[in-house]
Structure 1
Amino acid sequence: MTQHPRVPLVLVSGLAPEPNDELSELLRRAGPGIAVVHHDLRRIGDGVVRRRIRLGPRDELTALELAHGCVNCTLREDLLPLLRRLARMPAVNGIVVRLDEAMEPEPVSWAIQHVLVGERPVSEDVEIEAVFTVVDCATWLDDATGDELLVERALQGSPEDERTVAQVALAQAEFADVLVLAGAATDAWSAAKSAAVLDRVAPSVPRVELSRTDVAGLYAAVPADARRGEVGDMHGALLRGQPPLHPDCGIELLVFTAQRPFHPERLHDAIDLLLDGVVRTRGRAWVASQPDVAFWIESAGGGLGIGHAGPWLASPGGPDWVEVSPERRTLASLRWDPVHGDRAQELVVVTDQAAPEEIEQALLGALLTDGELAEGEAAWRGYPDPFGEWHEDPCEDNETEADRHVPAAQRKDDTQ
């Protein structure tokens, strides 16, 4: 097969449609042969996705009918094959994927790199050059700290999508290579507080103003060590860059670590504190009743995702050291326990109205006591376990790896 150079691809994400369109148009006009693709998911509940392709004078709008109305089906059945076709067109010099507001760039990036179209992933045809996330300065703070559901805005990735707006807003910001600021905050306090949140959830991501930049400025802002669509190791470092550790505008950062397991019922009770007055929780947990698998916990806006992050290195049947990333090997070596290996607690919590000290005490109280620890693993496996049943998505077999670890969000009332 004749080898051909990969076509540069840019992802544009964000919750505000008009600035997203403005940024996509700016990128389209950067030079000849830039194709812009947008899948509108507003009617996905009816199994219909509206696809728009712009390339030169061509502006084509198509209504797609999918067997299953969900983001994963849209990726697999249309976006990925389309990217391959566009990349092989001589007239195409670059591709901009303007993501629907309900879409997060991480699972899209994972699909481009890992989902097979035919016998090969689309990453052999395209190369992710940058991920730009638009932040609407007038609304982003409310989005990132509120408890509104996507469905309340008619924004859903599938009919069963229970994510909160905050979960999407934060996931989009965290995965960006550059944050593109659009508009202005309603007041100085909101601007300062938005900056304080972004400093802690995306500390290494530069910010540029949409109204004061051009295409050259956008690409110049992409850091040399930008992830460019690379999906992070779930057993790697939870903090990229160096977020401030001091309080700012009421926003604080708590890093919780421990090297003994959680009692499943006490952890379940403590999770309530990760939903009230908390901007973001992300991290791994070691639960006594399921000692062979790492739990992944995420919360934002009253929405909670809990799932499996795969086995620990020390687990029976766990991965070999040579199979995991150097980052994971380094972190595991630093905390290796002669009995429990790399099993440990590590949660990063960004708080707003909640007191970090109360959250820390609740998490400490959820750890096994000395007496429980002495009972041993055989006894732990018999503990009552409210985490024993897992959500199964109708399209589970088609989920990307980046989606698979976090089930559909649960509202706070569902965890009672």
Structure 2
Amino acid sequence: MTDTPRVPLTLISGLAPEAAGRLADLLRTGRPGTAVVHHDLRHVTSGVVRRRIQLGPRDQLTALELAHGCVSCTLREDLLPLLRKLSSMPQVERIVVRLDEAMEPEPVSWAIRNVLVGDRPVTEDVDLKAVFTVVDCARWLTDVTGDDTLEERSLLASQEDERTVAQVALAQVEFADLLLLSGAATDAWNAAKTCAVLDRVAAGVPRIELSEMDAAGAGSLLAAVPPHSRRGEVTDPHGPLLRGQPPLHTDCGIALLTFTAQRPFHPERLHDAIDVLLEGVVRTRGRAWVASQPDVAFWVESAGGGLGIGHAGPWLDAPDGPAWAEVSPERRTLASLRWDPVFGDRAQELVVVTDQATPEEIEAALTGALLTDEELAAGLEAWRNYPDPFGAWHEEPCEDTEVDEDTYTVKGKEENK
């Protein structure tokens, strides 16, 4: 790490492009020396990304042709080197990156911290101060409770993008340090229910009305970011699942369930039961222990009508698990509190935000998927022979992309979720 002062960096995300553009304009006009960068991915499936850079009177639009059209390529081949270049310009005092609607801020933050441009990460040049997410109050609740895909909304970020709008909308809000509310809800009930969901998925994150903001107000937004905010810190899949202090009572039909258990799921029964997370559920996040794969933690994540199950790495007690000194203090603390003399830190821990479904029916379905006493007594070797519908893991399509102009390598591999 050099002693040169790093240039402050702010990310703007959200499924409200006009409002996000207005916020970026306010940030630019409110402070001279602010460079605004925006990559438009609407033509990325054809291998073309439109990049716009605004700095002072300069407003430059460039069409970039990428060998492999996707978000990862855009980050590695253009955005990261561009951040380094802008940070070295004396007239640039701050950088604002307005992310495309289809981009989630967490993988972008991960790339900024971990992908090497040349021989060092971009964090030696820029200091990620905050992530702002713009929320369209008129349609956000519909987005996060629906099952529309990005393809159906013409928002694909790559040819292989199978995400739902709900997955993106919730990921953008959950990773935010500050929420900017745009427009008005359709009615009072929609407004109250939207607040109830935000209270549970983004607890403790301040909300500010964008419509009431001017350039001077936009310039002071960083002061509204709470000290405990993550500021681009990437989620540890084995860390705490609840950030802030979400309310535990039911509000407007929205409730929060924390499901925990000290025995594994039967793979087939879990597969049969998992549809319960897609009906009347806003959000599910957490770790699962599946009997047929006892050494690896599953990451389960649902949003509206979309569900993803991925690999969260080995348990600490697994033969190839990480050493205690290699993991975060939070993970060591959680493991110590629930350590089992036979199964170590293996456990179920899911957080579910429900809407039409009740916490009781979700809990009953998940409990029914756990091993019975008889199955538990059969032991690990018997479990490994269970038919397993979760056998294959999804690989991010451009993981092995090589870049010709410079060398881009990765410090550790982000888990697919």
Superposition TM-score, scaled by structure 1 size: 0.95
The question of 1:315 aligning with 2:318 is answered: yes
1:324 maps to: 327
Partner SS for 2:152: helix
2:176 maps to: 176
1:197 maps to: 197
Letter of the structure 2 residue corresponding to residue 176 of structure 1:
A
How far did 1:31 drift?
A: 1.5
Deviations 1:203-259 (A, max 9, x none): 121111112231244222100111100002110110001111111111111110001
Letter of the structure 2 residue corresponding to residue 134 of structure 1:
V
Match of 1:370 among 348, 367, 373: 373
Letter of the structure 1 residue corresponding to residue 121 of structure 2:
P
Q: Write the mapping of 1:5-404 to structure 2, written as runs, cut at 5 A.
A: 5-213=5-213, 214-397=217-400, 404=415
RMSD, aligned CA: 1.4
Cα contact 1:278–1:353 (8 A) shared by 2:
yes
How far did 1:30 drift?
A: 2.2
How far did 1:43 drift?
A: 0.3
How far did 1:144 drift?
A: 1.1
- Give the Cα–Cα distance (whole angstroms) in 2 for the partners of residues 95 and 343 of structure 1: 43
Cα contact 1:150–1:165 (8 A) shared by 2:
yes
- Give the Cα–Cα distance (whole angstroms) in 2 for the partners of residues 114 and 2 of structure 1: 17
How far did 1:389 drift?
A: 1.6
- Give the Cα–Cα distance (whole angstroms) in 2 for the partners of residues 288 and 27 of structure 1: 51
Letter of the structure 2 residue corresponding to residue 299 of structure 1:
S
Superposition TM-score, scaled by structure 2 size: 0.95
How far did 1:301 drift?
A: 2.0
How far did 1:2 drift?
A: 6.8
Letter of the structure 2 residue corresponding to residue 232 of structure 1:
T
- Give the Cα–Cα distance (whole angstroms) in 1 for the partners of residues 103 and 263 of structure 2: 36
Cα contact 2:23–2:218 (8 A) shared by 1:
no
The alignment of Structure 1 onto Structure 2 pairs a total of residues equal to: 406
Where does the alignment leave 5 or more consecutive residues of structure 2 unmatched? 402-408
- Give the Cα–Cα distance (whole angstroms) in 1 for the partners of residues 335 and 86 of structure 2: 42
Cα contact 2:13–2:20 (8 A) shared by 1:
yes
How far did 1:101 drift?
A: 0.2
How far did 1:32 drift?
A: 1.4
Cα contact 2:2–2:124 (8 A) shared by 1:
no
Letter of the structure 2 residue corresponding to residue 23 of structure 1:
L
Deviations 1:9-50 (A, max 9, x none): 000000011000011111111211100000000001101000
- Give the Cα–Cα distance (whole angstroms) in 2 for the partners of residues 270 and 145 of structure 1: 20
Greater mean deviation of Cα atoms: 388-397 or 303-312: 388-397
- Give the Cα–Cα distance (whole angstroms) in 2 for the partners of residues 137 and 371 of structure 1: 50
1:405 maps to: 416
Partner SS for 1:272: helix
From the superposition, tell whether residues 281 and 329 of structure 1 become closer, same or farther in structure 2 (CA, over 3 Å). Answer: same
Deviations 1:115-145 (A, max 9, x none): 0110101011001011000001111111111
Letter of the structure 2 residue corresponding to residue 389 of structure 1:
A
Partner SS for 2:269: helix
Partner SS for 1:396: coil
Partner SS for 1:190: helix
From the superposition, tell whether residues 27 and 216 of structure 1 become closer, same or farther in structure 2 (CA, over 3 Å). Answer: closer
- Give the Cα–Cα distance (whole angstroms) in 2 for the partners of residues 212 and 59 of structure 1: 26
Greater mean deviation of Cα atoms: 171-180 or 151-160: 151-160
